[in-house]
Amino acid sequence: MNLKFKNFIIFPALILLLTIANGFSKENFFTKAKKMYDQKKYEDSKFLFQRNITFNPKDAKSYLYLAKIFKIENNNFELEKNLNTTLLLESDNEEAMFMLIEIELDKSNFSKVKLLTQDFNKICSKMCDKITGINEKLKNFEAS
C-alpha cells in the first residue's frame, strides 16, 4: 500500500477519534462536577468546573456553577466575575441575572438594580415571581 494513501486514511481517522474523545471529556467533566456539586463536594466540583472551562471556555453553565460555589464560600469578587462571564456568554440566563441583582441590592446600587431589573423582565420565564421582591425593595428605597 502506498505511503501517501496510508497517511490519507490514518490522519483523518486519528483527528476524528481525538475530536470524539475531546467532546466526551468535556461533557464528562461537567457531568462529574455537577454530581459533586449536588453532593456538596464544592472544592472537588470547583476544580472540575474549572477544568471543564479549560476545554470549553464558552460553557456558561460551568461559570454559573462556579458562581454558586463562590457564593457559598463568600468570595464576592469571584462570584461577581463568574456571573458577569455567564451573562456575557448567555445574556438571557435569568438565574445569573437574578443573582447579580441580589449582589447589587446588597451593595445598595439601586440604579444598577433598576437597569438589571428591566433586562430581567425582558428575559424571565421561570423566575418572574422573584422580581416582585426586588421591586418592593426598590419602592421602599425610593419612599425613604
Work out the average pLDDT over 36-42.
98
When the pLDDT of each residue in the chain is averaged and rounded to a whole number, the result is 85
Grade residue 10 by pLDDT with cuts at 50, 70 and 90. low
138 pLDDT exceeds 90? no
Structural domains of the chain sorted by starting position, each given as residue range(s) with its CATH number in brackets: 3-143 (1.25.40.10)
Least confident window among 1-5, 27-31, 77-81: 1-5
Grade residue 93 by pLDDT with cuts at 50, 70 and 90. very high
Residue 49: phi, psi to the nearest 5? -65, -40
Least confident window among 16-20, 85-89, 104-108, 113-117: 16-20
**Helices 131-143 and 110-123, interaxial angle, to 10°?**
150
- Buried/exposed code over 58-97 (b: 16+ C-beta within 10 A; e: otherwise): ebbbbbbbbbbbbbeeeeeeebbebbebbbebbeebbbbb
For 113, 134, 138, the CA distances from 108, given in Å and listed in that order, are 9, 12, 10
pLDDT of 20: 52
Q: pTM for this one?
A: 0.77
pLDDT of 25: 47
